[in-house]
Amino acid sequence: MQTSEMKLDGNAIAGLLGEIFAVEMTTAHGTCASCGAVNEVGRVDVYVHAPGTVVRCPSCEQVLMRIVRQPGRGRYWLDLSGVRCLEFAEG
Amino acid sequence: MSLRGPLIAWQFGELVELVHETPRVSSLYFNIPMWPGHLAGQHVDVRLTAEDGYQAERSYSIASPPEARWVALTVERLDDGEVSPYLVGELKVGDKVELRGPIGGHFVWRAGDDRPLLLVAGGSGVVPLMAMLRHRATAPHKAPARLLYSSRALADIIYREEIDRLVAASDGLLVSHTLTREKPAGWSGYTRRIDAAMVKEVAWPKAQTPAVFVCGPTPFVETAADLLVGLEYDPLWIKTERFGATGGPGGG
């Protein structure tokens, strides 16, 4: 199976983001630290077949976020270094 | 320790009705006591826990409109899946399943949106779009709507009779089917994969600035979205939900 067929979008991590953030995040807007493109989180590229979840910019394909959840231990690792800014509405 | 709980808590829903839609697809109607209500296009996560504690989690689109009494999920059975063979095959009326929702806020449509609506579905990608059409059917003022729905064969068309009934209501809904692996006798729809000519015939002219929802397997969604951009649709009009190679949002 080609990697492109594994591509999902931000809708697929709405539940995971709901575990971390206090408000619905697929309607948030993220600014890519690499190219500066602003995309709604629902529109970003998501790959869930890695050990963690990898979120890429749909404009330049650079990594926006990496999210690892360790089942059973209730522990998360959230790498947001590819996101310059997240803008979202009050919940 | 924060006092704030998770945004969307896990809870149990009881299966109250099971409807076989096609040989591989069933609709499961759940009574979820703490359901806060939902919007057309949202999904739920379903979590199964094995006796040894192993958990498998999958997302499934909600098929029922916000107005419905029960929350319906329409699930395609994937033979190598971890969750769908249980939901479609083993789960019985009265059984309880752990789920959370509603989830998502991007891929949603409200009947108050009066832009012309274009829905493009590949296979079980029709499920969240059906929630939109069912929601639209209850609305006093109905935006004109078109559905382009690609299935493999006649027997694989989910909600076929209900879609026919919605069209028969003559309230501004047009439905175009295409079959990719069969050409039944007397069939008046398309019989090929979605392409530029088909999309041009079905889609609203760009001057009408439609609201567009595309859902299905990833290759289907990519193709459909590219074809719509080829019609000079603004990419921001188009909302997509990719199922991966197959299955629900996030793979079934």
- Residue-wise pLDDT for B93-147, tens only, equals 999 999 999 999 999 999 999 999 999 999 999 999 999 999 999 999 999 999 9
Tokens coding B205: 């002219």
CB contact under 8 A, B240 and A43: yes
CB contact set of B69 (below 8 Å; sequence gap of 6+): none
Q: CA of A81, closest CA in chain B: separation in Å?
A: 23
What pLDDT shows up at residue B250?
Answer: 55
Q: What does the mean pLDDT of chain B come to?
A: 94
B102 preceded by a cis bond (ω within 30 of 0): yes
Could you tell me the pTM of the whole model? 0.95
CB contact under 8 A, B59 and A1: no
What pLDDT shows up at residue A49?
Answer: 80
B4, B53, B243 ranked by CB distance to A22: nearest: B4
What pLDDT shows up at residue B245?
Answer: 62
Q: Does residue B33 register a pLDDT over 90?
A: yes
Contacts of residue A42 in chain B, CB cutoff 8 Å? 104-107, 239
Rounded-to-integer distance, Cα A53 and Cα A12, Å: 10
Complex ipTM: 0.92
**In the predicted model, what is the mean pLDDT of residues A44-73?**
91
Do A38 and A31 contact (CB within 8 A), yes or no?
A: yes
Contacts of residue A27 in chain B, CB cutoff 8 Å? 105-106
Rounded-to-integer distance, Cα B78 and Cα B81, Å: 5
Tokens coding B177: 């089917």
CB contact under 8 A, B106 and A7: no
Q: CA of B8, closest CA in chain A: separation in Å?
A: 6
Bridge pairing between strands B117-122 and B211-216? parallel
Task: Domain ranges for chain A, please list them.
Answer: 3-87
User: B143-174: b or e for each residue (b if 16 or more CB lie within 10 Å)?
Assistant: bbbbbbbbbeeeebbbbbeebeebeeeeeebe
B117-242 fold:
Rossmann fold (3.40.50)
CB contact set of B165 (below 8 Å; sequence gap of 6+): none
What pLDDT shows up at residue A3?
Answer: 59
CB pairs under 8 A between A and B: 87
Q: CA of A14, closest CA in chain B: separation in Å?
A: 5
Residue in B106, B109, B129 to test binding to A, most A beta-carbons within 10 Å: B106
Do A57 and A34 contact (CB within 8 A), yes or no?
A: yes
Task: Domain ranges for chain B, please list them.
Answer: 11-103, 117-242
Instruction: Classify residue A12 as left (phi > 0), alpha (psi -120 to 50) or beta.
Output: alpha
> What radius of gyration do chain A's Cα atoms show?
13
Spell out the CATH class of B11-103. Answer: mainly beta
Rounded-to-integer distance, Cα B126 and Cα B9, Å: 27
User: Within 13 A of A38's CA, how many CA atoms are on the CB side?
Assistant: 7
Q: Does residue B1 register a pLDDT over 60?
A: no
